[in-house]
Amino acid sequence: MKELELAATTENLHAVLAFVDEELEAVGCSMRSQMQIDIAVEEIFVNIAHYAYNPEVGKATIRVEVQPEPLAVMLTFLDQGVPYDPLAKADPDVSLSAEERQIGGLGIFMVKKSMDDVQYRYENGRNILTLKKTL
């Protein structure tokens, strides 16, 4: 397992993506899966940067763990910001037009659809969100 801890700011998104991509490339992840994972990583990290500590800035930790059989990657995001379960909100009704839909929720919906498993828990004062993608 590899781990990166840094300030939860949008300016650090590039460093987070580079960290994740380095691990994905090391295991021969397909470009399609890597793009799906990158979109999910961006969505989750930017949400932490914008909302977890607002208006302050706090730390975020990103863990990347590779499971060999079947080959899968688990990405865990940890922060000590405001407790928030992004999975608690109902999925948006994507059958409605953009004008008819309520604002918000589309990003986490895309994450849930592109990953094989998404889990949230609040433990020891930390938000812990884990994404799993079978490669």
Any idea where the domains of the chain sit in the sequence?
Answer: 2-134
101 pLDDT band, cuts 50/70/90, is low
Say yes or no to pLDDT of 94 above 90.
no
Whole-model pTM over 0.75 = yes
107 pLDDT band, cuts 50/70/90, is confident
Give per-residue burial for 65-87: e unless 16+ CB within 10 Å, then b: ebeeeeebbbbbbbbbbeebebe
DSSP per position, 26-66: HTT--HHHHHHHHHHHHHHHHHIIIIISTTS--EEEEEEEE
What CATH number does domain 2-134 carry, 3.30.565.10, 3.90.1150.10, 3.40.50.170, 1.10.150.130? 3.30.565.10
